[in-house]
């Protein structure tokens, strides 16, 4: 028995009558005699091929949701039987008898973590109708609804005996995966997103066609949430608030903070989880130092950075919102950097650096690039932050993606539309190749009394990968170009999980790591 041969091939199509109804139903005890006849026909080469009536009664009694049939015109066309097990009590080399408690199902427990498939079969008459797909799709939904880690079963290799003399089980599976050998069972299981974890020996006693081998197959539930011992506040739908900041003259620091608080107040009023400010949004304060050289003026501006950081941290707590401060000049051990701060609503503060300063930043201000790149854990998942020019270097986004980044924030400052286009298009590329959301926020307007900061061009936006779960053009939301405003948009982190597993392409998974690798050298 057991996750069996010829699940859904085309044999029997010519004999089939017109289909009036097709329904998936819970298996009932009254279906037993019909079920028995089908199993006898399906398993002609197996001794004692059908379940006893008491076994079916037991399964229905202990786990009715796990026992389902598909009926075509009122007749059983296919059946799937399952139990829930605490898989931690077994090894990946278990046998069928061990996992089913010698077919007593004593191993079933509602407190288990794995949905285990103990049987699936399709009537000869109804093969080719994708009945098996309906049953597997139901199991996947059941696994998700019950918050189980995965689906596991031992898959027979009924055609392996034809190749056993020249191929090991592993080689046989690889050739099936490469479509060099046709195996209707394994082909079907692989096409339904199951993956082979290992080969099991002596899984099903007396299975001569499989030469006593089986493939241990798994399907991972990407929505599984491990039960927490304390309340878990991590959100899956995250609201982003982007500040498209108007450059204007401010008399002093307090006036600038007052304007920033206005935006924070407004964005938090929409119950946003993040507020993103642009790069060098505080540059207007340099107007007071316009009589100095550009390197001296930027260093005077750096004296405000820690005070702005502390005020933003206070605002993040009082308005219950995570604030990404954009970026500001910052002197550390005598060296001038471009840095920003993540002010979390729990009161903690983390710092990020611009790693690639532009030629103008280095030439006009004597600014140096930082040497730290990392993701940040938040109550809305893992995020990454790259300042402006950094997003134009694909390696950085990929390194953050390898650390599990869900959302990439990019505070930027661009004076021309050319510069903006570089940031915007590179940001969209990062969203596609790293299967993440990217939020970019910039400044608009001009501040003629500040050298090297004459004018700005920006259109803030939230970008997505390009697949069926997302907008076709990969733009979730966008601000009006060159106008002071806020942009608020929701992003669903679960859609990223779906993309990673079921997307049209798999940009992260399909990387040829056998040919190339990306490595962070700085310790």
Cβ contacts of 194 within 8 Å, gap of 6 or more: 151, 155, 217, 218, 219
DSSP annotation of 416: S
Cβ contacts of 335 within 8 Å, gap of 6 or more: 368
- The continuous run of DSSP H or E covering 502 comes out as helix 493-502
- The continuous run of DSSP H or E covering 31 comes out as none
- Catalytic: 354? yes
Distance, CA of 96 to CA of 327 (rounded, Å): 59
| Alpha helices for 161-303 (secondary structure H) | 169-177, 184-191, 253-269, 294-302
Catalytic residue among 3, 279, 294, 484: 279
Judged by phi (left if over 0) then psi (alpha if -120 to 50, else beta), residue 378 lies in beta
Sort strands 376-378 and 75-85 into parallel, antiparallel or unpaired: unpaired
Tokens of 264: 């924070």
CB atoms within 10 A of CB 351: 16
Angle, nearest 10°, between helix axes 253-269 and 305-318? 30
Catalytic residue among 79, 143, 388, 466: 388
- Catalytic: 279? yes
Nearest to 242 by CA among 452, 381, 417, 444: 444
| CA 451 to mean position of chain CA atoms | 44
Distance, CA of 200 to CA of 478 (rounded, Å): 53
In the chain, % helix, strand, coil (3-state, to 5) comes to 30, 25, 45
Distance, CA of 16 to CA of 45 (rounded, Å): 24
Catalytic residue among 2, 71, 354, 476: 354
Rg (CA), the chain: 30
CA dihedral of residues 438, 350, 312, 274 (deg, nearest 10): 30
| CA 415 to mean position of chain CA atoms | 35
DSSP string, 197-209: EEEEESSSTT-TT
Tokens of 299: 């260093």
Distance, CA of 495 to CA of 512 (rounded, Å): 24
- Cα 7-143-201 angle, rounded to 5 deg: 55
- Catalytic: 426? no
| Alpha helices for 270-345 (secondary structure H) | 294-302, 305-318
Distance, CA of 521 to CA of 523 (rounded, Å): 6
Distance, CA of 486 to CA of 489 (rounded, Å): 10
Distance, CA of 425 to CA of 410 (rounded, Å): 12
Which residues are known catalytic residues? 279, 354, 388
């Amino acid at each position: 028995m057991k996750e069996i041969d010829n699940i859904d091939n085309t044999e029997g199509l010519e004999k089939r009558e017109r289909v009036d109804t097709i329904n998936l139903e819970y298996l009932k005890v009254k279906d037993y005699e019909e079920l028995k006849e089908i199993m006898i026909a399906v398993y002609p080469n197996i001794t004692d091929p059908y379940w006893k009536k008491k076994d079916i009664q037991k399964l229905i009694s202990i786990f009715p949701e796990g026992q389902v049939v598909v009926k075509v015109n009122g007749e059983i066309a296919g059946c799937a039987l399952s139990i829930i097990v605490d898989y931690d009590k077994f090894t990946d080399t278990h046998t069928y008898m061990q996992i089913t408690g010698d077919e007593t199902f004593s191993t079933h427990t509602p407190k288990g973590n794995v949905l285990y498939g103990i049987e699936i079969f399709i009537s000869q008459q109804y093969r080719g109708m994708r009945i098996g797909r309906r049953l597997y799709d139901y199991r996947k939904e059941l696994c998700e609804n019950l918050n189980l880690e995965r689906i596991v079963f031992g898959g027979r290799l009924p055609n392996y005996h034809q190749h056993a003399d020249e191929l090991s089980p592993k080689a046989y599976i690889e050739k099936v995966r490469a479509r060099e050998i046709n195996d209707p069972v394994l082909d079907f299981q692989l096409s339904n997103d199951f993956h082979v974890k290992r080969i099991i020996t002596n899984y099903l006693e007396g299975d001569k066609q499989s030469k006593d081998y089986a493939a241990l197959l798994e399907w991972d539930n990407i929505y599984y949430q491990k039960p927490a011992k304390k309340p878990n506040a991590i959100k899956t739908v995250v609201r982003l608030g982007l500040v498209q900041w108007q450059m204007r003259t401010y008399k002093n620091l307090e006036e600038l903070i007052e304007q920033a608080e206005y935006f924070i107040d407004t964005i938090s009023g929409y119950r946003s989880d993040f507020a993103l400010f642009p790069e060098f949004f505080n540059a207007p304060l340099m107007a007071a130092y316009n009589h100095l050289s550009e390197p001296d003026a930027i260093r005077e501006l750096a004296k405000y950075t820690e005070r702005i950081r502390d005020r933003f941290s206070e605002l993040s707590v009082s308005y219950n919102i995570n604030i990404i401060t954009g970026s500001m000049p910052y002197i550390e051990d005598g060296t001038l950097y471009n840095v920003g701060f993540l002010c979390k609503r729990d009161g903690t503060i983390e710092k990020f650096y611009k790693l690639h300063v532009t030629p103008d930043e280095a030439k006009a201000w004597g600014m140096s690039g930082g040497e730290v790149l990392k993701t940040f854990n938040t109550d809305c998942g893992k995020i990454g932050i790259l300042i402006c020019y950094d997003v134009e270097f694909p390696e950085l986004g990929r390194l953050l993606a390898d650390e599990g980044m869900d959302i990439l924030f990019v505070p930027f400052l661009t004076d021309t539309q050319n510069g903006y286009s570089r940031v915007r298009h590179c940001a969209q590329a990062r969203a596609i190749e790293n299967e993440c959301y990217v939020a970019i926020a910039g400044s608009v307007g001009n501040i003629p009394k500040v050298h090297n900061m004459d004018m700005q061009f920006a259109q803030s936006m939230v970008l997505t990968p390009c697949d069926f779960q997302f907008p076709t053009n990969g733009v979730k939301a966008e601000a009006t170009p060159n106008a002071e405003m806020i942009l608020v948009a929701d992003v669903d982190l679960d859609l990223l999980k779906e993309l990673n597993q079921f997307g049209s392409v798999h940009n992260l998974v399909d990387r040829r790591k056998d040919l190339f690798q990306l490595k962070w050298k700085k310790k």
